[in-house]
């Protein structure tokens, strides 16, 4: 008896995992492909092509009022589908492009930063302090491993960031004592997991293959582990992942409310504030560019406009 062919979205997942894309990318791409199929009344994508992709992307821009980055994400998902799953080329697309926003990022004064941090405590407060002290994105901060903290050199290595590259940023003296005390607790938690037969952590595919037992090593554990173990949605293994972004975001929202600051503030605001305050203190724009990991200095230049 012949086995039934795998469903299209399962084929998409297989192709994404073969390329070792992140689980977040997998969820995003599958979601956009599903929306594309539903938009065209459940027609199979192999029966469609450039015209249908153009219609969907134009709909997102005109009717959905999505941002340029959101539209680009949808396009990337559909491009992946046609190239890597259906083996079809889309060709040149003539679609209405979503407008790029020109708004200036929200930046806090140093006093406002202190006010918010005073209303944050525990591990969530420490996460926000790390973001402000090093300019990391929230996803980068939560993905930090023990080996990424260099207390001797006062450096943090942010790995597998946008563009799948690594960069070095600063680890302020003011964070050293708090982080070391935090890691003391994390190490006890990891030892407890090991004693109970767990202690494994997710590793990128290449590392897992090269170092089969590294997933239980202390240096590979997350700096900010979750409070409980969970099942890995891909491998099915029971592991302790890092903290979820939503918990940090919720704690920050409460702290902002308590501080009474009337600005639209999120975790990324502390990255913006980090860059702006460095420029205020006389740091060179190229140095700030490297610390933030921007490929083009024009991206970093927006903070000079904020200062002006």
| List of residues 6+ apart from 166 with CB closer than 8 A | 157, 158, 159, 160
How many whole angstroms separate alpha carbon 216 and alpha carbon 224? 16
Here the tokens at position 193 are 């997991």
| List of residues 6+ apart from 3 with CB closer than 8 A | none
Res 204: pLDDT: 76
Res 1: pLDDT: 47
Q: Please classify residue 305 by burial: count the beta carbons closer than 10 Å to its beta carbon, then call 0-12 exposed, 13-18 middle and 19+ buried.
A: exposed
Q: Which fold has domain 8-85?
A: DNA polymerase; domain 1 (1.10.150)
The β-bridge partners of 242 are 225
How many whole angstroms separate alpha carbon 172 and alpha carbon 179? 11
Residues with catalytic annotation? 137, 162, 268, 271, 294, 303
Quick one: CATH architecture of 110-307? Orthogonal Bundle (1.10)
pLDDT tens digits, residue range 68-83? 889 999 999 999 999 9
- From the list 171, 185, 170, 274, the residue with the least C-alpha distance to 222 is 185
Here the tokens at position 221 are 């554990």
How many whole angstroms separate alpha carbon 7 and alpha carbon 286? 48
The residue extents of the domains of the chain are 8-85, 110-307
Res 161: pLDDT: 56
User: Is the distance from CB of 268 to CB of 262 less than 8 angstroms?
Assistant: no
**Segments of the chain with pLDDT less than 50:** 1
């Amino acid at each position: 008896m012949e086995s039934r062919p795998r469903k299209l979205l399962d084929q998409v997942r297989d192709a994404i995992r073969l390329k070792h894309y992140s689980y977040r990318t997998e969820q995003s791409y599958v979601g956009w492909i599903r929306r594309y199929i539903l938009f065209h009344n459940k027609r199979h994508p192999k029966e469609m092509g450039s015209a249908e992709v153009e219609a969907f992307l134009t709909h997102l821009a005109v009717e959905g009022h999505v941002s340029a980055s959101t539209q680009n994400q949808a396009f990337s998902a559909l491009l992946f589908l046609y190239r890597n799953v259906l083996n079809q080329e889309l060709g040149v697309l003539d679609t209405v492009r979503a407008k790029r926003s020109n708004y200036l990022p929200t930046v806090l004064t140093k006093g406002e930063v202190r006010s918010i941090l005073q209303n944050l405590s525990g591990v969530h407060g420490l996460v926000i302090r790390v973001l402000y002290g090093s300019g990391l994105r929230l996803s980068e901060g939560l993905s930090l491993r023990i080996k990424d903290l260099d207390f001797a050199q006062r450096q943090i290595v942010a790995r597998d960031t946008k563009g799948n590259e690594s960069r070095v940023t600063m680890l302020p003296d003011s964070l050293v004592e708090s982080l070391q005390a935090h890691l003391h607790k994390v190490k006890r938690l990891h030892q407890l997991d090991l004693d109970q037969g767990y202690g494994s952590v997710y590793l990128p595919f290449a590392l897992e293959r090269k170092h089969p037992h590294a997933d239980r090593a202390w240096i590979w554990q997350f700096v900010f582990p979750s409070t409980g173990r969970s099942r890995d949605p891909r491998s099915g293994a029971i592991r302790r992942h890092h903290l979820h972004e939503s918990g940090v975001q919720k704690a920050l929202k409460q702290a902002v409310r308590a501080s009474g600051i009337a600005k639209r503030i999120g975790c990324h605001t502390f990255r913006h504030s980090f860059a702006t305050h460095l420029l205020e203190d006389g740091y060179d724009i190229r140095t700030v560019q490297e610390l933030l990991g921007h490929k083009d200095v024009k991206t970093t230049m927006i903070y000079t406009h904020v200062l002006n």
